[in-house]
Chains A and B, each alone.
Chain A
Amino acid sequence: MSLARDIITIAAVSAGAFFFLAGTVGLLRFPDTLTRLHALTKADNLGLGLVVLGLLPQAGSLRDGLKLVSIWLLVLLAGATVSQLIARTARQGETAK
């Protein structure tokens, strides 16, 4: 049982780290602000979700697990809305030029 938990943790955290890598590569290589914003929010949120998934088997109790999941949901909400706000600012800045 403990081995299965460890395997899930390693697999999920590795996948999460990979998505963080993908997000950072996108941030470095994409040409303009809007695409980079997309890479940042979508890839990083998915990476965080996978990391949370990987840490769930290691969590001490149901309450801790729920806390982890609610952190991820909060970050999702924040990421979605704040990226919209930043995108609007970027669009306004562009139309001004």
Chain B
Amino acid sequence: MNIATIFEIVLAAVVLGLGIWTIAVRETYSATVGFVAYGLLVALIWVRLDAVDVALTEAAIGGGLGGVLLLGAAARLRDGERTVAETPGMVTRVSAVALSALTTAALAGAIVFLPDPAPTLAPTVVGHAWATSLANPVTNVLMAFRAMDTMLEKVVLLLSIIGVWSLAPDNAWGGHPGPRHRADPDGILVFLARLLPPIGIVVGIYIFWTGANHPGGAFQGGAILASMWVLAIMAGLTDTPPVARRWLRFVLVAGPGLFLLVGLGGLWFGTAFLAYPPALAKPLILGIEVAMILTIAATLGLLLAGAPERSVK
């Protein structure tokens, strides 16, 4: 029982305890805070497991953006909480417990009975890094070897934003998402919202740029950029753009659109859909990622802003 094992036990115990508390607590606000704390701690676990790209995404999405999204939902439900009369019956609860226990047992069994050494394609991926001349194997998989999945994920993001916009009431169609925030222009919130975004933007672009050879990438960078935009909106320094604006819609489709164009180019000029000629692979990938980071930042920011509530007048 060396120090490393003790540390891992402590980490696992803290995360488990926090997870149980998040489920057991009554108020939604507290549960949301617990969920965000849980996300930030799981990022630690990912680093311990040497999966730093996943840790970055967990910190960005699970910790920051996902938590704020849940907070918005919890705030909307706050008034409804006191009038909720219906609680799940005993049968529902017992089946939920049984299903959760079964799923946990299956997952635990799958991990414990993994063949040793576990089957993995990691050495093959690392061995093929010459195809794109990027050193980060995760970026290679995401942007070259399984680029189709990444492109479809961006389309899914687009569909989700369309879904959120479809919740707008008729008179606010095409209007500004979310309420207009106001804050004391001499206050601390505005001070921080003026000071932090430039730093955050540099950090976001850095995380994106370093994803070529070290853990990072467009998604994590885009999430950081989105959080800075939402910060400026929350402090009232800027208003959400009306969703009918052409430039906004262009930014939202730029990522998957460019991806699709490059893919079709691979089909016409090359061997297959999304095939990159090895000489052009790196500039093509970086170009797609630049478009993607803008799309991701805009989409995540708008998802947090919500459905349009105020008409353009």
Q: A69-96, CB under 8 A of B: which get 1 and which 0?
A: 0000010011001101100100000000
Mark B residues whose CB is within 8 Å of A: 188-189, 191-192, 195-196, 199
**CB-based contact A81/B191 at 8 Å:** yes
A56 to chain B, nearest CB (A): 20
**CB-based contact B192/A81 at 8 Å:** yes
**CB-based contact B199/A85 at 8 Å:** no
User: Complex formed: what's the CA distance from A78 to B195 in Å?
Assistant: 10
**CB-based contact B188/A85 at 8 Å:** yes
**CB-based contact B199/A84 at 8 Å:** no
Q: Which residues of A contact B192 (CB under 8 A)?
A: 77-78, 81-82
User: Complex formed: what's the CA distance from A69 to B188 in Å?
Assistant: 24
User: Complex formed: what's the CA distance from A85 to B199 in Å?
Assistant: 20
Q: Which residues of A contact B195 (CB under 8 A)?
A: 77
Q: A20-62, CB under 8 A of B: which get 1 and which 0?
A: 0000000000000000000000000000000000000000000
Query: Would you give 14 A-B contacts (Cβ < 8 Å), ordered by A?
Result: A74-B199, A77-B192, A77-B195, A77-B196, A78-B192, A78-B196, A81-B188, A81-B191, A81-B192, A82-B192, A84-B188, A85-B188, A85-B189, A88-B188
| Number of A residues with CB within 8 Å of any CB on chain B | 8
Q: Which residues of A contact B188 (CB under 8 A)?
A: 81, 84-85, 88
A85 to chain B, nearest CB (A): 6
Interface centre among B191, B192, B195, B196 (most CB of A within 10 A): B192
User: Complex formed: what's the CA distance from A74 to B198 in Å?
Assistant: 12
B200 (CB) vs chain A CBs: closest residue: A74
B188 (CB) vs chain A CBs: closest residue: A84
A31 to chain B, nearest CB (A): 21
User: Complex formed: what's the CA distance from A78 to B196 in Å?
Assistant: 8
User: Complex formed: what's the CA distance from A85 to B184 in Å?
Assistant: 12
B193 (CB) vs chain A CBs: closest residue: A81
B91 to chain A, nearest CB (A): 40
User: Complex formed: what's the CA distance from A85 to B188 in Å?
Assistant: 7
A88 to chain B, nearest CB (A): 8
6 smallest beta-carbon distances between A and B, as pairs: A81-B192, A84-B188, A81-B188, A85-B188, A85-B189, A74-B199
B189 (CB) vs chain A CBs: closest residue: A85
User: Complex formed: what's the CA distance from A37 to B189 in Å?
Assistant: 18
Q: Which residues of A contact B196 (CB under 8 A)?
A: 77-78
A73 (CB) vs chain B CBs: closest residue: B199
User: Complex formed: what's the CA distance from A60 to B87 in Å?
Assistant: 57
User: Complex formed: what's the CA distance from A88 to B188 in Å?
Assistant: 10
**7 extra A-B contacts, CB within 8 A, seeds A81-B192, A85-B188, A85-B189:** A77-B195, A77-B196, A78-B196, A81-B188, A82-B192, A84-B188, A88-B188
User: Complex formed: what's the CA distance from A26 to B115 in Å?
Assistant: 48
User: Complex formed: what's the CA distance from A7 to B192 in Å?
Assistant: 38
Q: Which residues of B contact A82 (CB under 8 A)?
A: 192
A82 (CB) vs chain B CBs: closest residue: B192
A90 to chain B, nearest CB (A): 14
User: Complex formed: what's the CA distance from A74 to B203 in Å?
Assistant: 11
User: Complex formed: what's the CA distance from A50 to B104 in Å?
Assistant: 40
Q: Which residues of B contact A74 (CB under 8 A)?
A: 199
A47 to chain B, nearest CB (A): 17
B11 to chain A, nearest CB (A): 16
Q: Which residues of B contact A85 (CB under 8 A)?
A: 188-189
